[in-house]
A and B are shown apart, each in its own frame.
Chain A
């Protein structure tokens, strides 16, 4: 019969295909990098595939960070999960609590017998993604930290030294006033990521606790403590500065309105991710950009401490075969080699994750040729991280960030003062942390 012939032929070809496939183990990698970074991300997979013949890494763009993470979780629940998924830093709490759904990186390396030296990694990068014992849970991929960008031309026009970035918040204020009164620009400064830059990093930079139990690293029973006097003072200042036009609010989340304000020379200074460096340079053809570390309050003991990172890491989802896990380990090993890391760091502006990659970039003359590119690394490595400045780990942190934005908006609208706003952040945030504890306990 005709049908059985076709069926037989189909079966044969399927067998042939799967025989071919088993020669090379396929590793699915879901990522959230659109645009140019997406192309560079996929180039990493191509390079790995060309470097060996046992495994094929298949990258797949899955939308924004949120879409990628939620998609991967939906896939996990349906038993169709990828081997590797890229998750942003605020999802860390959710991922690490999902015991049984993820394979910690240190465990993966051990099981597969892959040579792996945790001390080769930069402590400030790896610390964020390690358990309290220092075991690495996920593979840092694209990490960055907020820094200060400023407009040298405006500084000059205002009679300021264009080579001198403001070091302290007092200087930020004084410079801003001079810039505004001289008419060099309409506003002093703006910022992307209010929550990340002006709360989380602000706390770490001033060695202030963000939450109990080592900022949440110590367990799910943690509570937020961001309503201390130093942060309250800073938020009060931001509200007063917004009122006077010294500071211009860039909107919730990443602060989408902030970059145009800096590019259009409306605001003279701008705080945002160090990885935005290339974008900032591309969009500011009409003026020279200077780089500086985040400002601090001089009278706060312990400031400046070190800044913390953001970005995303690669998590290994459970359910892969032994060959697949070996392939993932090999791929991670490839990603952390000094050459690959140095190249990635220089191409994208993300932080190098190993000491060797940093040193290689230096030897290659990258920092000499690209002034400002090492500000982030120096800032992050300024001091050995303390319990307050290692990072943070709270459940439901995606929603907590939304709460921080909301309360900041209420502060700027004059509905509450800084103490009231931050008290509300703590109270509402803690409710979410308790929910998370209940669901994962």
Chain B
């Protein structure tokens, strides 16, 4: 893993600097997470009155389950679509704002505003907008394009809805970081390229994008984690994983089985698998993507 070429030599200081973070992580994350791992080997009733050690049974049953494997596929489609949409749109918007001098602040404010909407409320708003009877989108789609929108029966409509709603929540976040990233690129570099006769698109590909790569990498990781773990509130408010599990992503299943269905054993096993997946994914990202990222 990267550090600086030159470093400070103190021995005790780094531990002191890390201590608050590690203590909180240990108490409020590692301890409960360890409990969750332990629970994944148990079969328990909801209240924990009787529990039996069942070894890997919670895991083997999942992997034998066709629905669980379907959910993996759904998650993949959902994550890729959401991350691409959220990163793509926000980068375009950030590039546009970066061109502005006087109006940059105004646009930024308008674009960041939606980020202030609580996810719990955002779900309700999307439900309003896409409701088949009262919603504005089905109305527009039907009258302008003759498309009969029905996300409670059509799997593709449902996936489109959850991708839009989930990406929407991330656009403002990504936008803020892209703007900050663009601002840290020295203007002199771009000016020099312009003097050399590079057009705006060429400059984007040869200068802006490479220099933006640390930000992009950061956002990529954050967005992937977001789609994998924090989108169930949106899904719960819009499609509830349906129709017929077409939008039942892995974390929603964890939420459904554990939080709603109170099957803590299976739900814990699913979280452990999910955590393993992310550790692998992150490892790959650090190993192969970060190497090519320019700092």
- A residues with CB within 8 A of B: 66, 69-70, 73, 76-77, 94, 97-101, 249-253, 256-257, 260-261, 264, 266, 396, 398-399, 402, 405-407, 409-410, 412-413, 415, 435, 438-440
Contact = CB atoms under 8 A, between A and B. Distances in A.
Contacts of B131: 257, 260
A253 B237 CA distance: 11
A399 B260 CA distance: 8
A406 B243 contact: yes
B152 A399 contact: no
A76 B262 CA distance: 13
Interface residues of B, number: 31
Contact of A264 (B45, B49, B134, B154): B134
A249 B152 contact: yes
A399 B131 CA distance: 25
A409 B256 CA distance: 18
B43 A252 contact: no
A440 B45 contact: yes
A257 B50 contact: no
B245 interface: yes
A355 B245 CA distance: 44
23 contacts: A69-B262, A73-B262, A76-B48, A98-B47, A99-B49, A253-B240, A256-B127, A260-B131, A264-B134, A398-B260, A398-B262, A399-B256, A399-B260, A402-B241, A405-B242, A406-B242, A406-B244, A409-B152, A412-B153, A435-B263, A439-B43, A439-B263, A440-B45
A131 B152 CA distance: 38
A407 B67 CA distance: 13
B78 to A, nearest CB: 18
Interface string B49-76: 1100000000000000000000000000
Contacts of A253: 240
B239 to A, nearest CB: 8
Contacts of B257: 399
B49 A438 contact: no
A413 B153 contact: yes
Interface in B222-260: 240-245, 256-257, 259-260
A249 B153 contact: yes
A127 B271 CA distance: 39
A264 B256 contact: no
B50 to A, nearest CB: 7
